Amino acid sequence: MNLHDIEERIKILCPFIKEIVVTIENGHPFAFIYPNFQTLKSAHIINIESEIRWYGVELYNLEVEESQKVRGYFISIHPLPKTESGKFDTTAIQELSNKTIQTSEDEPSDNLYQTIKSYLCTMSDAVILPSSHLELDLGLDSLNYVELFVFVEHSYGVKIDEKIFSNIMHMEELYEYIKEHKEYITPTKIEWEDILKEEDDEKLIFSPFIMFTYKTVLLPLFKLFFRLEVKGVENIPVSSCIIAPTHQSMLDGFLIEATLPYSILKNTFFLAFKQVFGTVFFNPIAKYGQSILIDANINLKESMLHASMPLKQKKNLVIFPEGARTRDRELLEFRPFFAMLSKTHNVPIVPVIIDGSFEALPSGKIFPRPKKVKLTYLKPIYPDDMTYAELTNLVKSTIKDAM
């Protein structure tokens, strides 16, 4: 196995990687990565880990055999260590992931810095220092960003969008930007339910005839080609709900579309990533297929409000809790946005198990295979008094127990 070839291929696939060293850990390739922060800023990327994982490491993994796949990675906010001769210091690099985290730095003592830090403490358990990177050190994600933007606007009168934020993703940079532009200092408590209930200027586009056509064509085709088996459709409420399927392949949204009863399908919208369904090939399908496209790096709050609209109008929303397709059939981490929507609008969640689409259309393949596919709609789960985390975990465990 040529580790240098792996490094070069991943760098070609992902322009946001400046340095990469691949070593062998527990018998498998493991990548140490230093991002190209300047390129990331220029492209206004604020979900750095996701960009590197899915459009670098995982794209590479799709191309190679199991033994050559990168099984893990570590993203460093500092350049990778080198020897005096200028070569990468492999020994020092391998120690990066075990390096003791710095616990103190000189920091501003003024009220502004302390209120920002206090708020970030509600979103991250990590030690917060002036040099902390808000994503790579503190672990903030898209949902945290939206919450942070709203907090900053309400508390300091400063508007921050993704374009601005991509250039101030260190604690000290965020503080300096707010300090320069603030109008007042009034720390304000932010509630997700208030955010998601805000009005949205966008309108939902209903396409009942096209949805009927999709279903009419796809259902018999899938039954013939995939020997499609469907169970539990009777578990879908007649009232508004969130449909939460597992995600194994590009077929999954179409499988849901084909198997929902038309009376439900015509009132159902699908949440999808713009990076995939905003492309030339898929955009016409999304545009006329009652899809709501979101971009993880642009207009996050507006996208979330738009995703909330079907539920506000007592319709249904299909959202994949994993947020991405599994690469090994194992469930990915469930992101809590679907649980937030469920609690905000007090609607049940219908978990769905999709089994077989992983084999029918593996990631990276274009043409499907005639493998058997099963869909099982489980009984609805109501939000009741659960927290977002409790509801998220319950949906995942319910799916896992039924698989």
What DSSP letter does each residue of 243-283 carry, written as one string? EEE---STTHHHHHHHHS-HHHHTTEEEEEEHHHHTSTTTH
List average pLDDT for each run of 10 residues in the chain, which is 403 residues long.
Answer: 95 97 94 97 96 94 92 95 94 84 85 97 95 96 95 97 96 98 95 88 88 94 97 96 96 96 96 77 79 86 92 97 89 95 97 96 87 98 96 98 95
Residue 100 has what pLDDT?
67
Residue 199 has what pLDDT?
84
User: What's the pTM?
Assistant: 0.89
Which single residue is written with the structure tokens 């849901």? 256
Among 124, 171, 131, 127, smallest CA distance to 152 is for 171
The whole-angstrom separation of Cα 393 and Cα 333 is 10
- Looking at the domain that runs over 111-190, which CATH code has it been given? 1.10.1200.10
Q: Tell me how far apart the terminal alpha carbons of the chain are, to the nearest angstrom.
A: 36
The whole-angstrom separation of Cα 343 and Cα 382 is 9
DSSP 133-194: BTTTTT---HHHHHHHHHHHHHHHS----HHHHTT--BHHHHHHHHHHH-S--------HHH
The whole-angstrom separation of Cα 359 and Cα 199 is 42
Task: Look up the CATH superfamily of 3-98.
Answer: ANL, C-terminal domain (3.30.300.30)
The whole-angstrom separation of Cα 374 and Cα 233 is 12
Among 191, 182, 126, smallest CA distance to 156 is for 182
Residue 369 has what pLDDT?
94
CATH 1.10.760.10 fits 208-402, yes or no: no
Residue 319 has what pLDDT?
97
Among 221, 217, 215, 213, smallest CA distance to 360 is for 221
The whole-angstrom separation of Cα 302 and Cα 7 is 37
| Burial bucket for residue 347 (CB in 10 Å: 0-12, 13-18, 19+) | buried
Per-residue exposure over 367-403, b if at least 16 CB sit within 10 Å of its own CB, e if not: ebeeeebbbbbbebbebeebebeebbebbbebbeeee
Structural domain spans, the chain: 3-98, 111-190, 208-402
DSSP 358-370: HHHS-TT-SS---
Residue 286 has what pLDDT?
78
Per-residue exposure over 104-142, b if at least 16 CB sit within 10 Å of its own CB, e if not: eeebeeeebbebbbebbeebeeeebbbebbbbbbbebbb
